[in-house]
Amino acid sequence: MDLADYQRFTPTTAIYPADRALEYLALGLASEAGEVAGVVKKWLRDGTDDATLKAKLAGELGDVCWYLSQLCNQVGLDLDAVFAENMRKLQDRARRGVIGGSGDLR
């Protein structure tokens, strides 16, 4: 499977109000990212084993991927192109020695 396969798949499991899709998907993405943070928080607090942490993170990160894919579908972005552009941006920042800086335009 590749990103294009996944992006074609996600609409087959999408159930949400079409007239509020952008808001729904953006809020869902933020919510799932919060669940990722919650898994890590509980790992810090409770000291669960690494296998449990990985399993829980895999589930929540999968949900993040679903919302990301559907958000890209909603606005007409190619998920593969989004990943490729992000990689290009980060490689450029690393090459210029500004990967650790702050701000979007560096």
Determine which helix (DSSP H) or strand (DSSP E) holds 35, and give its type and residue range. Answer: helix 21-46
Average pLDDT taken over every residue of the chain: 95
Q: Which two tokens stand for residue 76?
A: 């007409």
Q: At what angle do helices 50-75 and 21-46 cross, to 10 degrees?
A: 170
Q: What is the pLDDT of residue 104?
A: 72
Confidence of residue 45 (pLDDT cuts 50, 70, 90): very high
For the chain, give the number of residues: 106
The dotted CATH code for 3-10+20-96 is: 1.10.287.1080
Whole-model pTM: value is: 0.91
What residue spans define the domains of the chain? Answer: 3-10+20-96
Q: Does the pLDDT value for residue 75 go beyond 90?
A: yes
